[in-house]
């Protein structure tokens, strides 16, 4: 039975969006109760509200702020950190109806999108103009609102950067219900603090994104996928900075340890054509994709890369036929599902400077061995982002292991999450390991954007972390 406050807010929100765009009680589908984080528990919200436009979002936020009811923004729910899981008694603001590509500006090379537009949708629309939005996290059903809120990365970050580097401007609703517009169809502005960049990566805790202006690029027509098996993981990771420094300009540089490569190849029926004698010796693989507008230039770069990989100790080098190359990349994108099916207990996505990956991976291997745990993985090696699947059933032992894996990476100048975000699932490590001065400053920023503390409480920080701190 809803309380009087709960019934009141549900009625008020229904008046804003209409009954057809509101779900409560058993009408709330299970999808809205979770994301894809392995460790998070689902929560059933009081209601799901599906606004149609910015004015409705603003009104929803005002009403929730007045009633002190928590709001959790939701895109496609593909997040891996528990960040879009609603709080008990809170409201989900789902952006599924705000899913229009408002403009593809061919002269300024930008797209203006509503937050519920998916990566698939944008890719189709830009492809029709020979353009590309270059952020490809492993899940293309993800929404642009979710991408902005998590600062999504993915395999192409080594060439193009991550979401943060593509967002030129935003429209967003603050925790007060006020609407701001930031940036625009230009790269540079020095007009006070950069509010666009504060909102990017804030995991729905500072503002609800209602529109994004994104950079587009010409879409090169030709690509080549090169696969190089190596005898040791250390050889692979040591090769990465040299490939990036070579000037060849790879689109992606991914490493996979042998366990992960075998699992994804078997799971997705990928035939790599690697000589069995080489396969015997290989304990890790490097996958490099090159792209170009001109086929002959691509061929030259591919030949140069093959020679370089040989010099860097590759056991062999394979230029995959295009169908096999595409299949391998697709299987790599699905590595998360493979790890989940294999029973991984947690996934982490630490980032370290790419030249420090060999030292980091050595530290991880030692920690895993000392704690009788299995830690395997793959990653966007070109930008230092390492995705590790952790197999350790005991929760306390797993916590200590992950804490030490994060601490080892931070000692090398790394950060706890390279792209999946902190959400509800990694905040304990942030509280344990991050600089308290920075955390206090972040809480003050949150209080300035969201004085009532209604936007995604429990994500990044525990609500109690704000006790005793002044709200604006």
Ligand X SMILES: Cc1cc2nc3c(=O)[nH]c(=O)nc-3n(C[C@H](O)[C@H](O)[C@H](O)COP(=O)(O)OP(=O)(O)OC[C@H]3O[C@@H](n4cnc5c(N)ncnc54)[C@H](O)[C@@H]3O)c2cc1C
Q: Which of 41, 43, 87, 86 is nearest to 395 (CA)?
A: 41
Report if residue 346 touches ligand X, rule: CB under 6 A.
Answer: no
Q: What is the DSSP letter of 88?
A: T
Q: Please list the alpha-helical segments (H only) found in 89-246.
A: 119-127, 144-150, 157-160, 195-199, 233-245
Cα–Cα distance measured from residue 472 to residue 462, given in angstroms and rounded to the nearest whole number? 18
Cβ-based nearer residue to ligand X, 74 or 354 = 74
Kindly state whether residue 150 participates in binding ligand X, applying the rule CB under 6 A.
yes
Confirm or reject binding of residue 72 to ligand X (CB under 6 A): yes
Largest separation between any pair of C-alpha atoms in the chain: 72
Closest of 427, 391, 436, 392 to residue 406, by C-alpha: 427
Kindly tell me which of 218 and 463 has the beta carbon lying closer to ligand X: 463
By the rule CB under 6 A, 76 interacts with ligand X: yes
Q: Which residues, listed in sequence order, are joined to residue 386 by a DSSP beta bridge?
A: 350, 379
CB 148, min distance to ligand X, A: 7
Chain positions 432 to 451 lying near ligand X, rule: CB under 6 A, are none
Is residue 416 within 8 Å of 422, Cβ to Cβ?
Answer: yes
Scan residues 77-96 and list those touching ligand X (CB under 6 A): 77-80, 83-84, 95
**Tokens coding 102:** 């408002």
For residues 244 to 283, the per-residue mask of contacts with ligand X, x marking binding by CB under 6 A and - elsewhere, is ----------------------------------------
Handedness of CA 445, 451, 455, 461 (dihedral sign): positive
Number of residues that bind ligand X (CB under 6 A): 39
Contact with ligand X (CB under 6 A) among 10, 13, 64, 142: 142
The verdict on 171 binding ligand X (CB under 6 A) reads no
Query: Binder to ligand X among 9, 35, 230, 312 (CB under 6 A)?
Result: 35
Q: Which is nearer to ligand X, 212 or 306 (CB)?
A: 212
Closest CA to 76 of 92, 57, 60, 53: 92
Instruction: Measure the CA dihedral 198/203/206/209, to 10°.
Output: 90
Task: Using CB under 6 A, pick the residue from 146, 175, 177, 241 that binds ligand X.
Answer: 146
Tokens of 90: 């809170």
Judged by CB under 6 A, which of 54, 143, 389, 392 binds ligand X? 143
Residue 137 interacting with ligand X (CB under 6 A): yes
* C-alpha span between 469 and 472 (Å, rounded): 10
Kindly tell me which residue out of 17, 48, 59, 139 binds ligand X, with binding defined by CB under 6 A.
139
382 binds ligand X (CB under 6 A): no
Interface region with ligand X, contact rule CB under 6 A, candidates 204-212, 217-225, 287-295, 397-405: 204-212
Q: What is the DSSP letter of 380?
A: E
Output the smallest distance, CB 208 to ligand X, in A.
4
Q: How far is the CB of 92 from ligand X (least distance, A)?
A: 9
- Residue whose structure tokens are 């925790």: 175
State yes or no: residue 414 binds ligand X (CB under 6 A).
no
**Contact at 8 Å (CB) between 381 and 41?**
no
- Report CA-CA distances (Å) from 328 to 68, 288, 333, 459: 48, 11, 9, 34
Q: List interacting residues with ligand X (CB under 6 A).
A: 35-36, 72-80, 83-84, 95, 115, 137-139, 142-143, 145-147, 149-150, 152-154, 203-204, 208-209, 334, 336-337, 419-420, 456, 459
């Amino acid at each position: 039975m809803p309380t009087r406050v709960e019934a009141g807010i549900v009625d008020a929100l229904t008046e804003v969006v209409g009954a057809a765009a509101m779900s409560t009680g058993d009408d709330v589908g299970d999808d809205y109760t979770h994301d894809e984080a392995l460790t998070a528990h689902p929560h059933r919200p009081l209601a799901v509200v599906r606004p149609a436009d910015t004015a409705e979002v603003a009104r929803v936020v005002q009403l929730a702020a007045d009633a002190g009811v928590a709001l959790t923004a939701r895109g496609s729910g593909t997040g891996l950190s528990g960040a879009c899981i609603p709080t008990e008694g809170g409201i989900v603001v789902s952006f599924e109806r705000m899913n229009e590509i408002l403009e593809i500006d061919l002269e300024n090379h930008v797209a203006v999108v509503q937050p519920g537009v998916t990566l698939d949708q944008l890719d189709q629309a830009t492809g029709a103009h020979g353009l590309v939005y270059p952020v490809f996290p492993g899940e293309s059903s993800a929404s642009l609102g979710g991408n902005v809120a998590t600062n999504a990365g993915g395999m192409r970050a080594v060439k193009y950067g991550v979401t943060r580097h593509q967002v030129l401007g935003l429209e967003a609703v603050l925790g007060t219900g006020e609407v701001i517009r930031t940036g625009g169809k230009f790269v540079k502005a020095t007009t006070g603090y950069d509010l666009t960049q504060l909102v990017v990566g804030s995991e729905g805790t500072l503002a609800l994104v209602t529109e994004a202006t994104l950079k587009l690029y010409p879409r090169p027509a030709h690509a080549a996928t090169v696969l190089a098996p190596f005898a040791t993981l250390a050889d692979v990771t040591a090769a990465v900075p040299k490939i990036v420094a070579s000037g060849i300009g790879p689109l992606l540089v991914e490493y996979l340890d042998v366990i992960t490569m075998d699992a994804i190849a078997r799971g997705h029926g990928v035939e790599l054509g690697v000589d069995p004698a080489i396969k015997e010796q290989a304990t890790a693989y490097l996958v490099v994709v090159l792209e170009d507008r001109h086929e002959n230039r691509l061929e030259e770069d591919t030949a140069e890369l093959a020679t370089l990989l040989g010099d860097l100790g590759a056991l062999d080098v394979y230029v995959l036929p295009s169908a096999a190359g595409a299949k391998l990349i697709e299987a790599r994108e699905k590595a998360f599902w493979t790890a989940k099916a294999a029973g991984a207990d947690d996934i982490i996505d630490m980032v370290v400077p790419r030249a420090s990956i060999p030292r980091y991976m050595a530290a991880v291997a030692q920690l895993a061995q000392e704690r009788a745990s299995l830690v395997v993985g793959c990653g966007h090696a070109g930008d230092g982002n390492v995705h590790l699947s952790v197999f350790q059933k005991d929760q306390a032992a797993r916590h200590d292991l992950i804490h030490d894996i994060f601490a080892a990476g931070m000692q090398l100048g790394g950060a706890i999450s390279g792209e999946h975000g902190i959400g509800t699932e990694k905040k304990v490590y942030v509280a344990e390991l991050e600089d308290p001065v920075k955390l206090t400053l972040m809480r003050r920023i949150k209080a300035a954007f969201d004085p009532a503390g209604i936007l995604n409480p429990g994500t990044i920080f525990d609500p109690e972390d704000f006790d005793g701190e002044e709200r604006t």
